[in-house]
Amino acid sequence: HLDHYTIHPVTDADVPALQGLLEADPAYSLIVDGVVPGPNAAREMLDEELPPGFAPERRHMYLVERGDGPAALIELLDGFPEPDIWYLGFLFVAPWERNSGLGRKLLAAVYAHVAAKGGRAVRLGVMDANVDARRLYDREGFAFVKAATRPFRDGRPASLSVLQRPV
């Protein structure tokens, strides 16, 4: 079902492609970060601080490509916040790939991967302002866990919903 795509772990060599992906949709960055992506947004994302005590090797970032260009980015935290739950920190589908079914196909691949690794559920946080993503997660069977807030990059509070789905 992902026949026309390749998926590989993100490396430093992918930073320019990731930067282009982020810059392609400044409205998304406004929703999730409160600011448009700066010139080092991709590097900053890769260097983002992990939860206290979380081992860096349990953070998995994947670049999804179609042809010679980026199509999506996925971040998974293995065993967070509980040993048998994986946290979907990031699922960004390029604007030119949206409404093609790619998001649902990637989620199906995430569920299969997490189940194969012994996980029982996928958890995520979706910004309340990101109504399109919330609609997708609702259709996918994610259930509301709790409301939360986190700061935007400029310090303003941002509201989000924590959702979870069994795999």
pTM for the complete prediction?
A: 0.93
Residues ≥6 apart with Cβ < 8 Å to 36? 26, 29, 30
**Residue whose pair of structure tokens reads 């081992």 in the numeric block:** 55
pLDDT tens for each residue of 127-143: 999 999 999 999 999 99
Instruction: Give the mean pLDDT of the chain.
Output: 94
Q: What angle do CA 160, 21, 7 make, to 5 degrees?
A: 95
